[in-house]
Amino acid sequence: MKTTLLKSEDYTRSPWKNGGGIFTDIADAHRAGSPTKDWDSLLWRFASTPIVAPGPFSYMPGIDRLQMVVGGRGLVLKAPGREFDEREPFTTVRFTGELEIVTELEAGPVEVVNLMARRGAAEIELLALREPGDRPLSAGTHLVYAVFGNCSIRLNSEEFAVPHGSTLKVELTEPSRLALVSGLGVLGSIQLVG
């Protein structure tokens, strides 16, 4: 097991693919040997972003996306013939980057967390850690993001404090157990395929 604390002051900021806003890049991975780290070389990305006005989502062919509102409420994603309801915070929605999505804000701006992965390169999961309790973690990369205040977790028998806004990156070569001890966190899990 390898753990790395990613501090909020070290996160990078980049424009959305469509230029409509700015996201905070918390952690990502790109294809080995890619000359540039861009959308074409992306394997996965964990990021947060504010959505302050209704508008279209970026077109991301070949990318699977998970999203969760962590600040504010009332977000609805509208796609042709479909709707993704994120009105309540900490609800995860899954959609593909090819979908033509337009946001609807029913109660003002929101802050969201996104976990994206290149289809066929990685399997991803995104969930809120709100209740103390124990859960299995598979081998892979796991990110525990402390959304509000400090968050404390236990991995197997070792306890870790994650300061507000920071993220604990956990790289596992074998299955493990994670327990939320205190606070509130978001858990992003990535398993590379092949």
CATH of 123-192, one of 2.40.100.10, 1.10.150.120, 2.60.120.10, 3.40.50.970: 2.60.120.10
* pLDDT for the residue 19: 67
Q: Do domains 8-119 and 123-192 have the same CATH topology?
A: yes
What is the distance between the alpha carbons of residues 164 and 160, in angstroms, rounded to a whole number?
13
What is the distance between the alpha carbons of residues 163 and 160, in angstroms, rounded to a whole number?
10
Which range (25-39, 70-84, 114-128) has the least confidence? 25-39
pTM of the predicted structure, to 2 decimals: 0.93
- 94 near 65, Cβ under 8 Å? yes
* Average pLDDT over all residues of the chain: 92
Q: Which CATH topology does 8-119 take?
A: Jelly Rolls (2.60.120)
Calculate mean pLDDT across residues 84-94.
95
Quote the DSSP letter at residue 123. E
- 47 near 26, Cβ under 8 Å? yes
> What residue ranges do the domains of the chain occupy?
8-119, 123-192
